[in-house]
Structure 1
Amino acid sequence: MAEFGDFISAVGEFGRYQKLLILLLCLPQFLTAFHMIGQVFMVVDVPHHCDTSWIRAVGPNLTEEEQLNLTLPRDADGAYERCSRYSPVGWDLGSILAYGLNATESCRDGWVYPSAQPPSLLTEFDLVCDKKDLTDISQSVYMMGLLLGALIFGPLSDRVGRRPMFLTSILLQALFGVGAAFVPHFYVYMAFKCVVGAGVSGTLIVTLALSTEWVGVSQRPKAVLISHCCSALGQMILAGLSYGIRHWRLLQIAGSAPMFALFFYIWVLPESARWLVTKGRVEEAKQLLQKAASTNKCTIPAGLLEQLKPEIQSKSGSVLDLFRKKHLRKVTLIMSCTWFADSLVYYGLSLNVTGFGLDIYLTQLAFGAVELPARISCIFLLQWFGRKKTQALLLLLSGLICLVITGIPEDQPLATTILAIIGKSTSTAAFSTSYVYTAELFPTVLRQTGVGLCSMSARVSGIMAPLILLLDQYHRAVPMAIFGSVPVVVGLLCFLLPEPRGTELVDNMGVAASQLSNRRSSARDNTGNGEDLEKS
């Protein structure tokens, strides 16, 4: 019986049909960057102080400077305190001028912001002083949405199908993304962002499955990484969009509403033929393969098409199968750690765009600009050096750069930003490598479940990354030390993984075990030791 890879070869490994599919999968990726880090530009810190308008009742002719001088204490540097004021008293102005005010309190009547400042999340919901940590907590809540999305959409796309889960993910992003622009309270905003995160997670993991399952062996890295390049372009667009639109509600709409335009996917997005075969829906798979062949101007030999039989239907796997099988358990544990490290250093650098000392819009533009060549270079690195070496070395390099940043003096923002940009580039490449690597290591019946579990691991570190940034109040080097040490350790673990370069995707769990065994045996025969074969 023919392997499914033979059918992909017959219809064309990367013909017009696959290119159109990749184009469809790329379009949502332009907005991924906005959902991931757009909030950074909605909470830019601005000068603020406590509202002390109470003194106007006794001194209506006071200038603004006189009012502040009488009602606000000063810090050690002589600047007005941002989070405290002198307690109001029932004295007349003469007594206040003569004796002054001593007792202080928190900003019970709110804060005053620059009048020319466009409405932002920070100014509208007073995310300052004792509520300033809500900004980072909100990012963690969004990452929790990504975690829930991986938990839900990964297994469901293995059971229900890739296509319905992709359409559901787009709907969630559109509805709740736009809805977040109209929320009355910040906690409602966080809840909406959590749902958006779930939708983004579903889009990412289903894109990975469709990209790998519709193309040939040699084209898998290209298919996956093209959509990642669109995400990098989205980061560059985000820099310009956030610079031009300073009103946070308008920015939220501009970054979310275009998702409604993708509803035409209901009529044009195909299901994975490979997945249909594993579910015994062979006639549907044949129709899709014939449509792909027609689009690619190819012909599937009649004899070959007849070999696609319902008997190859595979039993659905569960998340427990990832740990019952020895070969899958090792892959699952190490790849989960890999995704954890990828996400930790990637978001640790991305969300700290305001902490490197230079203009945040230029820094974001640079972050997006370096992601593009980083993701493109992965296509060649994976072909030249294989998955294992590329994954390990990129993680090691990104971790070491973060550790170097900890030793850069605080008064050298340019050097810190340059290193951060290089670190962002290597961490981006490491993350992209993980997507390709993971899709190749898990069998089709468990591919989305395995990717979903690894994605959950990444989302856990994504939740942690904004909270780790809060540790800079103890020492500025602590967050970067954590972001650097984890990928170094995990990078070394990656050398224990098998090398799937040049092999066909595996459909069943039993076949996955035998192929892994064959690679090891081949490696021993050719090298005389127990190392995994680097080339298939």
Structure 2
Amino acid sequence: MSLNRQPSDFDSNLEAAGSFGRAQIMLIILNCYITSYVGWQAYIPVFSTREDDFYCADDLNFTLSDLEPHQISLVNFPDDDHQFKSLLGNGTPSYGDECTKGCHKYVYKPGISSVITDFDLACGSKQILPALSTSVYWAAYFISCFISGALSDRFGRKKVSLGLLVGLTISTTITIFCTDIYMYIALRFVAGFCALNASMDYIIMAETVNKAKLSMIGMTVQVIFVVGELSCIFFGYFLQNSWQWQFMAMTVPAYIYLVLHIFLMPESARWLYSQKKKEKAEEVLRKIARINKRDPSTIHLLDSDQLPKPSQEILSQGEHEETDSDSQQLILNQESQTVTTYKKTEPNLFSLFGTVHSTMFTLSCAASWFSASLVYYGLTYDVQNIGGDFFLNAMLLTFTEIPAWLVCVAMNIFGRKKTFVISLYICSIACAILPFTEPLLDGNLQIGFAVIGKFLSAGAFDMLYVYTPEQFPTQLRSTGLTFCSAMARIASISAPFIIEIKAGPYNCTPFLIFAISGLMTGFLVQMVGVETKDKQFITTVEEFQQMAKTKQLKNLDTKDGHVSRRGSIQT
């Protein structure tokens, strides 16, 4: 017996309005725009907190009181290095990256502007503040996932998204006029919190588009993230003498999108219908129909009390219907299923930790997200400590994210588990070798290992959006995915602090931390992970825990007749 469910009244009306026409393409373009912009926001710390060589002004053979006003400006803001050296004469100290104990003022090498050079943060107790400014961005993003998500469910997608967009635009604009590092950190927190508006707009698009095309759209939108990073590198190169001008350039697309959002972004008709706002939902669907050249008069939604009530048989079948994030519909073998009875206790996150084996399995999933994210953001933000040309390295490490989707292709050939574990192992080995190649080829060999690490960590990260939902039971799939993605945010918060650790030969400690994290996670997944390629989803928490207890977690096709399901795959 195959699973057949009638489409909801909303779905049939959406099809009548057109579920993949010009209206949906417009929403996809808007999503690509804001996704690339958020990529710019995420990458800007590479330039705004860029370090530069310096020396202690206390080493000068004169005091500031001995100089004329125009000469003092050369010491504080040495735009012309040749003129500055002629001022100092034979007492010119050499630039370097070593802090001098007891130094009160540092002079930075001309040509590069950042919050470190402007606010004198290279040494001392404030040395950690630039890394903190990057971490608070991701911490705010992490907090916003819970708050903004709940607000959008309560007040609507567009209202919350528009409010976040206004906050992101204003905070970015004010950042241009920062007077100290603490103001900068506070504004980056606001920007991180408001950057979630891209996710809100994605939800609007996802609730309006044909579900069968959603996976490919999601992959396309994520690749566009790289465009924002490349834009940041472009302006970072031509405006490297002023980090304020870099933020100025970043405000322009924000204001453009703000206007586009107000006039072009609709409220989610699906959300309106779920809130029993039938007339407004019909209005949105009719507008979509007109844009798609469909007949708007065919749009008629039923009131909630007019919707047909499904039978108990359909309800029980519906609890076992599966659609994975890779747009492969997994059809259950209904002959081996029994009717699910009502349970008084609703499953929650703690249900995933019900047994020792299920706990290890859940932790391996969480560790996968943590390690992939840690290496990804670690190599992204530590580009200035990799040998070779700074801008060339930034370009190479960014471009390598585009072909990283080949890892997702490989997982459909060789399997999810094997592809992920091998990717993580090779990535970790590359990170472990990277710092020790500094003496070779003037450090230029380091970028090769960095590209390998970034390519595989980005591919593994992308792969988890498909692999992880396939591993958790239907009843807690969203909960499990949220828990794991939270671990990725913790990693992105930690990465800026880890790369500040200057210890070991060739400052190898950060890269060794990345390597150890990846190797341990790879081993854990290899021991307790599940291969999900061509396998059926786990449906209930009880099945999940039972297979864990009987050590059947590695193979979803168990010999137990109650659990075994031989589902076919439709692409």
Q: Tell me how far apart the structure 2 counterparts of residues 60 and 324 of structure 1 sit (CA, whole Å).
A: 68
Q: Tell me how far apart the structure 1 counterparts of residues 243 and 560 of structure 2 sit (CA, whole Å).
A: 60
Q: In the alignment, which of 88, 102, 105 is matched to residue 106 of structure 1? A: 102
Give, in angstroms, the shift of residue 384 of structure 1. Answer: 6.0
Which residues of structure 2 form unaligned runs of 5+?
Answer: 69-85, 316-345, 548-552
User: Quick check: 2:415–2:531 contact (8 Å CA) kept in 1?
Assistant: no
Secondary structure at 2:491's aligned position in 1?
A: helix
Secondary structure at 1:133's aligned position in 2?
A: helix
User: Quick check: 1:13–1:219 contact (8 Å CA) kept in 2?
Assistant: no
CA 1:532–1:57: 2 relative to 1, 3 Å: same
Residue by residue over 1:324-374, the C-alpha shift from the partner in whole angstroms, topping out at 9 and shown as x without a partner, is 555999897665433322321110110111111111111111122222232
Q: Which residue of 2 aligns with 1:374?
A: 404
Q: In the alignment, which of 263, 288, 291 is matched to residue 258 of structure 2? A: 263
Give, in angstroms, the shift of residue 511 of structure 1. Answer: 8.4
Give, in angstroms, the shift of residue 439 of structure 1. Answer: 7.3
Q: In the alignment, which of 194, 215, 228 is matched to residue 189 of structure 2? A: 194
CA 1:322–1:382: 2 relative to 1, 3 Å: farther
User: Quick check: 2:46–2:381 contact (8 Å CA) kept in 1?
Assistant: yes
Q: In the alignment, which of 15, 20, 29 is matched to residue 35 of structure 2? A: 29
1:493 matches 2:493: no
Opposite residue 55 of structure 1, the aligned amino acid is: F
* Aligned counterparts, 1:119-518, within 5 A: 119-130=113-124, 131-200=126-195, 202-246=196-240, 247-264=242-259, 265-282=261-278, 284-297=280-293, 322-323=348-349, 326=352, 335-375=365-405, 377=406, 380=409, 394-405=423-434, 408=437, 410-412=439-441, 413-435=443-465, 453-475=483-505, 476-491=507-522, 493=525, 496=529, 499=532
Q: Tell me how far apart the structure 2 counterparts of residues 479 and 17 of structure 1 sit (CA, whole Å).
A: 47
Identity of aligned residues (%): 26
User: Quick check: 1:177–1:257 contact (8 Å CA) kept in 2?
Assistant: no
Give, in angstroms, the shift of residue 241 of structure 1. Answer: 0.9
Q: Tell me how far apart the structure 2 counterparts of residues 463 and 270 of structure 1 sit (CA, whole Å).
A: 33
User: Quick check: 2:152–2:160 contact (8 Å CA) kept in 1?
Assistant: yes
User: Quick check: 1:208–1:435 contact (8 Å CA) kept in 2?
Assistant: no
Residue by residue over 1:473-532, the C-alpha shift from the partner in whole angstroms, topping out at 9 and shown as x without a partner, is 23433322222333444455397468599999xxxxx98779999x99994589999699
CA 1:166–1:132: 2 relative to 1, 3 Å: same
TM-score (norm 2): 0.71
Q: Tell me how far apart the structure 1 counterparts of residues 156 and 475 of structure 2 sit (CA, whole Å).
A: 11
Secondary structure at 2:51's aligned position in 1?
A: coil
Give, in angstroms, the shift of residue 182 of structure 1. Answer: 0.6
TM-score (norm 1): 0.75
Q: Which residue of 1 aligns with 2:321?
A: none
1:55 matches 2:85: no
Q: Tell me how far apart the structure 2 counterparts of residues 156 and 443 of structure 1 sit (CA, whole Å).
A: 27
User: Quick check: 2:557–2:565 contact (8 Å CA) kept in 1?
Assistant: yes
Worse-superposed segment, 321-330 or 142-151: 321-330
Worse-superposed segment, 143-152 or 325-334: 325-334
CA 1:416–1:33: 2 relative to 1, 3 Å: same
Residue by residue over 1:243-281, the C-alpha shift from the partner in whole angstroms, topping out at 9 and shown as x without a partner, is 001211111121234212222313322334444455454
Secondary structure at 1:471's aligned position in 2?
A: coil
CA 1:57–1:335: 2 relative to 1, 3 Å: closer
Opposite residue 124 of structure 1, the aligned amino acid is: D
Residue by residue over 1:45-89, the C-alpha shift from the partner in whole angstroms, topping out at 9 and shown as x without a partner, is 333222246735898899624445xxx7xxxxx9889543xxxxx
User: Quick check: 2:412–2:533 contact (8 Å CA) kept in 1?
Assistant: no
User: Quick check: 2:286–2:297 contact (8 Å CA) kept in 1?
Assistant: no
Give, in angstroms, the shift of residue 28 of structure 1. Answer: 1.4
User: Quick check: 2:282–2:299 contact (8 Å CA) kept in 1?
Assistant: no
User: Quick check: 1:120–1:248 contact (8 Å CA) kept in 2?
Assistant: yes
Residue by residue over 1:81-140, the C-alpha shift from the partner in whole angstroms, topping out at 9 and shown as x without a partner, is 9543xxxxxxxxxxxxxxxxxxxx6222x22234x4354322210021223332222222
CA 1:522–1:396: 2 relative to 1, 3 Å: closer
User: Quick check: 2:165–2:197 contact (8 Å CA) kept in 1?
Assistant: yes
Secondary structure at 1:165's aligned position in 2?
A: helix
CA 1:525–1:10: 2 relative to 1, 3 Å: farther
User: Quick check: 1:154–1:452 contact (8 Å CA) kept in 2?
Assistant: no
* Aligned counterparts, 1:77-96, within 5 A: 83-84=99-100
Q: In the alignment, which of 7, 13, 24 is matched to residue 3 of structure 1? A: 7
Opposite residue 262 of structure 2, the aligned amino acid is: I
User: Quick check: 1:387–1:501 contact (8 Å CA) kept in 2?
Assistant: no
Give, in angstroms, the shift of residue 305 of structure 1. Answer: 5.9
Opposite residue 208 of structure 2, the aligned amino acid is: W
Opposite residue 371 of structure 1, the aligned amino acid is: E
Q: Which residue of 2 aligns with 1:317?
A: none
Q: How many residues align?
A: 493
Q: Which residue of 2 aligns with 1:100?
A: none
User: Quick check: 2:169–2:255 contact (8 Å CA) kept in 1?
Assistant: yes
Q: Which residue of 1 aligns with 2:333?
A: none
User: Quick check: 1:391–1:430 contact (8 Å CA) kept in 2?
Assistant: yes
Q: Tell me how far apart the structure 2 counterparts of residues 442 and 11 of structure 1 sit (CA, whole Å).
A: 34
CA 1:403–1:55: 2 relative to 1, 3 Å: closer
Quote the RMSD (CA, aligned, Å). 4.7
Give, in angstroms, the shift of residue 414 of structure 1. Answer: 2.9
CA 1:207–1:406: 2 relative to 1, 3 Å: farther
Worse-superposed segment, 43-52 or 145-154: 43-52
Secondary structure at 1:129's aligned position in 2?
A: coil
